[in-house]
């Protein structure tokens, strides 16, 4: 299955690109895809955005699957489907 990932805001500074496409096995979880991204982009991404050892997004970042926050789904255990669009971005802060 083919998944498109968009990197927005601060995440883009760690990937040096605005998007990637991945060919994954059917039934792949969001955590598996994030592990792959962390492996591709190395230690800065793993330290700041997603910790592959703990299987969790850092507190100031979020993933969306087809426009829905991962926390409204099954978090990093959300199963992905062919054609899904993932957005990785930093949370908005301020007042």
For residue range 23-72, list pLDDT tens digits in order. 999 889 999 999 999 999 999 999 999 999 999 999 999 999 999 999 99
Q: Does 7 map to a domain?
A: yes
Q: Does 29 map to a domain?
A: yes
Provide the pairing of β-strand 85-90 with 68-69.
unpaired
Angle at 35 between CA 77 and CA 9, to 5 degrees: 95
Structurally, the chain folds into a number of domains equal to 1
Report, in this order, helix, strand and coil percent for the chain, each rounded to 5.
35, 30, 35
In this predicted structure, the answer to whether residue 92 has a pLDDT above a threshold of 60 is yes
* Distance in angstroms (rounded) separating the CA atoms of residues 93 and 78: 26
Q: Does 75 map to a domain?
A: yes
Q: Are 87 and 61 in contact (CB under 8 A)?
A: no
The pTM (predicted TM-score) of the whole model is 0.92
Q: Which domain holds residue 69?
A: 2-90
């Amino acid at each position: 299955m083919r998944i498109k990932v968009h990197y927005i805001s601060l995440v883009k500074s760690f990937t040096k690109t605005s998007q990637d496409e991945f060919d994954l096995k059917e039934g792949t979880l969001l955590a598996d895809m994030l592990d792959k991204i962390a492996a591709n982009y190395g230690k800065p991404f793993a330290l700041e955005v997603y910790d592959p050892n703990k299987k969790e997004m850092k507190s100031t970042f979020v993933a969306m699957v087809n426009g829905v926050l991962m926390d409204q789904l099954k978090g990093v255990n959300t199963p992905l489907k062919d054609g899904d669009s993932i957005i990785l971005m930093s949370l908005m802060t301020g007042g």
